[in-house]
Amino acid sequence: MKLEILTLNNFRQFVGEQTLSFSQDKDNNITVIHGENGAGKTALLNSLYWIFYDEIYLPDPEKLVSEKAIAESEIGEEIKVEGVLKFSHDNKIYTIQRRKIFRKKGEEDLSGELVSEDFNLEYIDNQGKSIERSNPQKAIKQILPEDISKLFFFHGEYINELSKENQQDEIQKDIKIIMGLEILERAIRHLETVAKEFEKKLRDYGDEELRELIDEKHKLEKELEELENDLETIKNNKKGIEKEINAINEKLKELEGAKEAQEERERLEERRSEINESITDIEESLKKQFSKKGFYMHLNPIVEGAKEILTKKRERGELPTHVKKQFVSNLLKENKCICGRPLNEGEEAHKKVREWKERAGLEGLDEAAFELKSRINEFKNKKEDFFEEISDMLENKNGLLDERKKVNDKLDEISGELSKDKGENIKDLEDKRKRSSDKKDEYNQKIGIKEKEIEDLKKKIDKLSQKEEKLKVKERKAVLAQKRFKACNQAKNYIEDLFDKFAQQVREEVEEKVGDLHSAFLHKAYWAEITDDYKLKIYKKVGDQKQPVGMSTGERQIASLAFIGGLAKIAKERYKQKKNAIYFKGGIYPIIMDSPFGYLDVVHKKRIAEGMPKLAEQLVVLVTSSQWDGEVEKIMTTKAGKLYELEYHNPNEDPTNYEYTLINEV
Amino acid sequence: MNDSEEVSLEVDVKEIVNAVLEEEDKLLHQERPHNINKKIKERIEELIK
C-alpha cells in the first residue's frame, strides 16, 4: 500500500479543501509535515482513521465539522465534511471517500446535525475502467485491517507505551496481526462453536449419564465464559486507568513545580518493575533448584545410615573383604589350595575353603563401599553447594526486597510532596493520580482472583471432558455425533499446536529483525530481545552475565521504533516471497509517525533520522520545529520527497475567533 | 470403557484442519459474508459419515 493524495474538506480544524500529496519517490520516500503543538498533526493522522474506519481517537470525537466552517454558515445551511484518499495497492489505484453532511441547527451550534453520510471505494482495473467495490468496509479490512493501521499509523504516546514492562499483550497482538496468525485463532474459535453443536446432538442421542455430564459441562463452560468476560472487562478497565495515570504523568511533567519529581518517580517506578521482575526470576529459580536438588536436604539420615552400616561391616571384619569370592571359586574349581594341598570334595580342607567363599565379601561390595564413600563425600559437597546457592539467592532476594521497600518509601515521599504542593493544579493532579493508582491496585487484585478461578474451572471442565470421552455411546446417531465432536476437538488441538509453533517461529523472526534495527539505532552496546512471554526487553553484558536494562523514555522510544520497523520489514519480505500464503500474506505498508523524535537526545535523533528511510517503503513524519533541528533537519531534508507545513490560526489572534489549520507545501 | 477403547475417526485430522482453514481463507477473501460455522460443520459432516 502506498499513499498518494489526501484531500480533506472541513474535517476538524482543516477548513475548506486542503490537499496533501505524499512522496512517491523511492530514494526520497519521506513526507515531512511540520506543525507546532496543537496545530493539527494528530488530527491529520486521525483523518486517515476516519476515512478508513469511521473512527477518531481525539477529544470530542463527535465534533467532525470545522468550527470555522460551521460558524460562518447560515442556520439551516449544509456543510460537507469529507476525506478522500488515493492510494495504490496490489497494482491497483484505489480511491476511498468518506463524506458526512451536517446541517447548522442554530446560531450557537458548532457541531451540526448529521443529515447524510456516504462511503465508497473504487479502483481502476487493468483496462482503465473504474470499478466500485460493493462492500467497501469489508474490502478495506482486507487491504488494511484496522489493527494493522494502528501499528503503522501511530502517535508518540503509542511509541512510548509499546516497550513498557506491561505491554506484552500489545506486542503479542501486534506480532499475531502482522503475521496473519489470527486466521488460526479464528479457526480455533469457530471449531469450538461447531464442536458445541455436535455435542448438543451427542447429548440428545446419548443416555441419561451422558446427558447429565454434558449439561454439567455446559453449565461450567458458561460460568467460564462469564469469568473470562469479567476478566477482560477488568483488564480493559485497568488499561483505561493506566492511560489516565499516563496522561496525568505527562501533565505533571509539563508543570515546572512537578517536572523533576515526576521524572524521578518514573525512574523509580521503572526500577521497581525491574526489581519485581528480578524477584520473580529468583523465586522461579528457587522453585527449580528445590525440585531438582531439594532431595539433598533429606539425604542426611540416609547418608548417616549408610555410614553406620559400613562401620559395622568394618567392625565385623567384612570390610575390607580380603578374599574375593571369585578367587576362592577358582581354587575350588582347580581342586588346589594356594598352599598346594589338594581340595577334594567331601574332605575337611575343601569344606574349610568353601566356608571362606561364603564369608568372602559380596560381589563388588568393596567397590560399592568405596564408591559409596566417595559418593557420600560428593553428596556432602553438593549439599553444601546447594545450600550456598540457595542462601545466595535468598540474600539477593532480601537485598531486592529491601531496595523495593526503599523505592516504595521514596515514591510515597514524592507523592506526599506533590499532594502538599501549593500549586492547586499539581495537588489536584496528584490526588487524582493517587485515586487512579489505588484503583489500579484494586484491579490487579481482582485480576489475580479471576485468573485463579478460571484456572480451577478449566481443570474441572477438563476432567468432565475426559469422562465424556470415555463414555460408551450405543445409538448410531450418537456415535456419529461423538465422532464429529471428537474430530472438531482434535482439529482444534492440531491448530492450537500449529499456532504455537508459528507464534514461536514468528517471535524469533521478529526478534532478529528488531535486534538488527535496535543495534543500528542505539549507540550503546545493548541488544533487544523479545522474551518467550512477548516482552520487549533490552539487555547489556555485565561480565559474562546478561542483565536487563532499565530504559529511559528515549531508549524506550528507540526500542519501539525498532519493533515497528522490524514488523514492517517482515511484512514486506513475506509479501514479496508469497510464502505461507494461507497463514500470512504479508504486505507493504507505509509508516506514519507523529512526533517520533519526542524524547531523543541529539546523538539518537541523528541515528534515527539516518535509519528511518529504511524502516518502510514510504514514511510520513509529523514533527514540531523543536524536534526538527540541527542534525535531523540536515539528514532528513535530503531524504524528504515532500515537505509540508501546518499553518495554524490561533483563535486568540484571529479576528473570527475560530481556530483553523491550512496545509501548505513548503 | 477403558482408555484403549477410544473412538476412531476413520479420517486423518489433517484433512479436517485443511478443510477448516480453506473455509477460513474463503471467508477472508470473499466480499459477501458467509456463515462460517455452518460451512465448517458441513465439511466435517462430509468427511465423517
Of the candidates B13, B36, B40, which has its C-beta nearest A494's C-beta? B13
Residue B1, pLDDT score: 37
pLDDT per residue as tens digits for the range A401-445: 999 999 999 999 999 988 887 676 888 889 999 999 999 999 999
Instruction: Indicate the DSSP class of residue A12.
Output: T
List CB contacts (< 8 A) between B35 and chain A. none
Q: Which three cell numbers stand for residue A413?
A: 515521599
pLDDT at A385 over 80: yes
* Chain position carrying cell 571362606: A356
List CB contacts (< 8 A) between B5 and chain A. 472
pLDDT at A359 over 70: no
Residue A35 lies in a domain: yes
Distance from CA of B46 to the nearest CA of A (A): 10
List CB contacts (< 8 A) between A138 and chain B. 31, 33
Going by pLDDT thresholds of 50, 70 and 90, the confidence category of residue A650 is confident
pLDDT per residue as tens digits for the range A547-578: 777 777 777 778 888 888 888 888 888 777 76
Instruction: Give me the number of domains chain A comprises.
Output: 1
Please indicate whether, in this complex, the C-beta atoms of A142 and B28 are within 8 angstroms of each other.
Answer: yes
Of the candidates B32, B37, B48, which has its C-beta nearest A484's C-beta? B48
Distance from CA of A231 to the nearest CA of B (A): 26
Bridge pairing between strands A153-155 and A113-124: unpaired
Residue A479, pLDDT score: 87
Residues 122 through 181 of chain A touching chain B, CB cutoff 8 Å: 133-135, 138-139, 142
Residues 481 through 540 of chain A touching chain B, CB cutoff 8 Å: 482-484, 486-488, 490-491, 494-495, 498
Mean pLDDT within A451-475: 90
Residues 6+ apart with CB under 8 A from A471: A206, A209, A210, A213, B1
Residue B5 lies in a domain: no
Of the candidates B7, B17, B37, which has its C-beta nearest A483's C-beta? B7
Residue B34 lies in a domain: yes
3-state SS track over A589-653: CCEEEECCCCCCCHHHHHHHHHHHHHCCCCEEEEECCCCCCHHHHHHHHHHEEEEEEEEEECCCC
Per this entry, what is the length of chain B?
Answer: 49
The rounded distance, in Å, linking the Cα atoms of A11 and A42 is 12
Is pTM beyond 0.95? Reply is no
Residue A18 lies in a domain: yes
Residue A30 lies in a domain: yes
Instruction: Give me the helix-helix angle, A476-521 and A553-577, nearest 10°.
Output: 120
Q: Which three cell numbers stand for residue A279?
A: 524477584
The answer to whether residues A276 and A404 touch, using CB atoms and an 8 Å cutoff, is: yes
Strand order in the sheet with A640-649: A130-132, A113-124, A92-103, A78-89, A2-11, A14-21, A660-665, A640-649, A30-34, A619-623, A591-594, A153-155
List CB contacts (< 8 A) between A491 and chain B. 13, 16-17, 20, 44
Distance from CA of A404 to the nearest CA of B (A): 49
Largest CA-CA distance found in chain B, in angstroms, rounded: 49
Strand order in the sheet with A536-542: A527-530, A536-542, A545-548
Residue A416 lies in a domain: no
**ipTM score for this prediction:** 0.88
Side chain identity at residue A461, one-letter code: I
Residue A646 phi/psi, 5° resolution?
-90, 110
Instruction: Choose from A8-22, A330-344, A555-569, A570-584 the range with maximum mean pLDDT.
Output: A8-22
The answer to whether residues A570 and A179 touch, using CB atoms and an 8 Å cutoff, is: yes
Q: What percent of chain A has pLDDT over 70?
A: 92
Residue A317, pLDDT score: 61
Question: Does the CB of A463 have a partner CB in chain B at under 8 Å?
Answer: no
Residue B4 lies in a domain: no
For an interface test with A, which of B9, B11, B13 has the most A Cβ atoms less than 10 Å from its Cβ? B13
DSSP H/E element including A83: strand A78-89
Distance from CA of B34 to the nearest CA of A (A): 13
Instruction: Indicate the DSSP class of residue B8.
Output: P
Residue A31 lies in a domain: yes
The answer to whether residues B11 and B17 touch, using CB atoms and an 8 Å cutoff, is: no
Please indicate whether, in this complex, the C-beta atoms of A134 and B31 are within 8 angstroms of each other.
Answer: yes
pLDDT at A48 over 90: yes
Instruction: Indicate the DSSP class of residue A297.
Output: G
Residue B21 lies in a domain: yes
pLDDT per residue as tens digits for the range A190-243: 999 999 999 999 988 888 888 899 999 999 999 999 999 999 999 999 988 988
Please indicate whether, in this complex, the C-beta atoms of A483 and B25 are within 8 angstroms of each other.
Answer: no
The rounded distance, in Å, linking the Cα atoms of A540 and A526 is 5
pLDDT at A362 over 60: no
Residue A533 lies in a domain: no
CA distances from A123 to A92, A144, A371, A604 (A): 6, 15, 83, 41
Size of interface A-B (CB pairs under 8 A): 83
Residue A163, pLDDT score: 67
Domain hosting residue B42, numbered range: 13-47
For an interface test with A, which of B15, B24, B25 has the most A Cβ atoms less than 10 Å from its Cβ? B24
Domain hosting residue A649, numbered range: 2-144+589-665
Distance from CA of A132 to the nearest CA of B (A): 13
The rounded distance, in Å, linking the Cα atoms of B40 and A184 is 14
Residue B40 lies in a domain: yes
SS3 A659: coil
Residue of A nearest to B47 (CA): A484
Residue A579, pLDDT score: 55
Going by pLDDT thresholds of 50, 70 and 90, the confidence category of residue A183 is confident
Quick one: how many helices (H) and strands (E) in chain A? 18, 15
Question: Does the CB of A192 have a partner CB in chain B at under 8 Å?
Answer: no
pLDDT at A363 over 70: no
Q: The domain spanning residue A594 has which CATH number? A: 3.40.50.300
Distance from CA of B19 to the nearest CA of A (A): 10
Instruction: Give me the number of domains chain B comprises.
Output: 1
pLDDT at A134 over 90: no
Residue A320, pLDDT score: 60
